[in-house]
Amino acid sequence: MKRIVVLLLFSILLISCGSEKSVDSYIIENSDYEGRYVAKIVRIIDGDTFVSFANNDSLKIRLSGVDTPEMGNGKSKLHQPYANKAKEYMTNLILGQEVLIIPKEKDRYGRLVAWVFLDDIDISEELLKAGLAWHFVKYDSNDNYTRFEKKARSKRIGLWEDNVPIAPWEWRKMKKEEKEEYMSSR
């Protein structure tokens, strides 16, 4: 009951703020009372970010609980090792599929951070099992995710084949020259 009241008040606030679509209004319009909704995946941006489509609207989604290797962006076209493999894995797993999206929060970039399931398969869990992601413990305390990452590490699966893989949050801090040096030493 409390959720319904909160959603109702939030809806009124959004309506009074104008017609521009926000992540919050998207959730309200496209979800049941618990916030979950089904959407089709129409684009994979990288290993942990994609675009979903539901009710004639698209929305950028960031997987909750994991962080995958970084794709090169506008400033640096240098991809982190295993970035392409993580993106390819996601593409094969969910592109064109209808998935269940359970919203968690909005991040500082305006993306919806969410848990995502294909049937009963937790997508974040699958990336960890495949050795293509780190458990993002700064933002998530799921013990299962920690266990899946440790198992992939011990089996040296995916990015854990590298002797010293660099976590995405460390890669993002590195200067272009440091990244180039790292890549040339591999």
The secondary structure of residue 56, as a DSSP letter, is T
pLDDT tens across 92-124, in order? 999 999 999 999 999 998 999 999 999 999 999
Reference 95, options 36, 37, 40; nearest CA is 40
Backbone angles phi, psi at 141, to 5 degrees: -120, 25
Q: Is 102 left (phi over 0), alpha (psi -120 to 50) or beta?
A: beta
Asked whether residue 23 carries a pLDDT value surpassing 60, the answer given is no
Please report, rounded to a whole number, the percentage of residues in the chain having pLDDT higher than 70: 80
pLDDT tens across 28-53, in order? 454 443 688 999 999 999 999 999 99
Angstrom distance (rounded) from CA 83 to CA 140 = 21
Residue spans per domain, the chain: 35-184
The secondary structure of residue 134, as a DSSP letter, is E
- Could you list the active site residues? 62, 70, 111
Angstrom distance (rounded) from CA 154 to CA 114 = 28
8 A C-beta contact, residue 115 and residue 65: yes
Q: How far is CA 37 from CA 34, 102, 103, in A?
A: 9, 7, 9
User: What is the CATH number that goes with domain 35-184?
Assistant: 2.40.50.90
- Which of residues 86 and 184 earns the better pLDDT score? 86
